[in-house]
Amino acid sequence: MNPEMVALLAAVLFVLGAVGVLIRRNALVIFMCVELMLNSANLLLVSFAYAHGSLDGQVAAFFVMVVAAAEVVVGLSIIVSVYRSRRTTSVDAPDLLKL
């Protein structure tokens, strides 16, 4: 199997995740899209490992996975606390980035 195809699949997944981040409004779904992008990166790392015959790519993917787990924990708690104070999970509602 040509790893190039795997990399192209990773690219497609990454772009879909990125577009999802931009067009979805539910913070949770956006977060899932971010996870999708991370996964596509992982896929790319694994395909590199396969293509080059080196396990370093897999190690990196492993670390990404662990970091993603930590990120999800913190991110979800942020979403929960925002939801508590604002009663919404839409990212359009808190436009507090503008004073």
Partner 1 sequence: MSGQLLVFVICGAFAVLGALGLLFFHKAVHAALSLALVMINLAAIYAALDAALLAMAQVIVYTGAILMLFLFVIMLVGIDRRESHRELIPGQGVVAILAGIGTLGLLVFAILGSFPAQAVGLEAANGGNVESLAALIFGSYVFAFEFISALMIIAPIGAMVLAQQARLTAKKTQRERAAARIEAYAQKGVHPGTLPNSGVTALQDSIAVPGLLPAGRISTSSVSQAMVDRDAVVNVHAVSLLTAQRFAELSGEVPPAIIKPEPVDLVDTKDERELLK
Partner 2 sequence: MILLEPELTGQTLYISGGVFDFAWLMLAAPAVGAAVLLLTGSFFDKRGHWISILAVLASFATALAIFVQFLIGGGGSYSVDYLNWITTPAWSVNIGLYIDQLSILFALLITGVGSVIHIYSVGYMAHDVRRRRFFAFLNLFVFAMLLLVLANDYLVLFVGWEGVGLSSYLLIGFWQHKPAAAAAAKKAFVMNRIGDLGLTMTVFTLLAFLGSSSFADVDAKIGTLSPQWITAVGLFLLLAACGKSAQFPLQAWLLDAMEGPTPVSALIHAATMVTAGVYLVVRSHTIFAVSEIATTAVVIVATVTIFIGAWIGCAKDDIKKVLAGSTMSQIGYMLLAAGIGPAGYAFAIFHLITHGFFKANMFLGAGSVMHATGDDVDMRHFGGLARFLPVTFATFAMGYLAIIGIPPLAGYFSKDHIIEAAFEHNLVVGSAALLGAGITAFYMTRLMMMTFFGARRWEPGVHPHESPKSMTIQLIILALFSVAIGVVMNGWIQGWLAPALGTEVHEIQWLPTPIGLITLLVVIVGVAAGVYLFRVRPVPVAQPQTKNPLVIAGRNDLFGDLANETLVVKPTMFAAQVANANDTVFIDGAIDGVAVGALKLSEIGRKLQSGRVRSYALATFVGAVFIGVITIIGQLG
Alpha carbon separation from 14 to 38, 53, 55, 84, 89 (Å, rounded): 8, 24, 23, 31, 23
- Does residue number 86 form part of the binding site for partner 1 (CB under 8 A)? no
- Does residue number 34 form part of the binding site for partner 1 (CB under 8 A)? no
Cβ-based nearer residue to partner 1, 26 or 99: 26
Q: Which of 68, 94, 96, 97 binds partner 1 (CB under 8 A)?
A: 68
Cβ-based nearer residue to partner 1, 11 or 98: 11
Cβ-based nearer residue to partner 2, 24 or 62: 24
Instruction: Measure the N-to-C terminal CA separation of the chain; round to a whole number of Å.
Output: 54
Return d(Cα 58, Cα 25) in angstroms, integer: 33
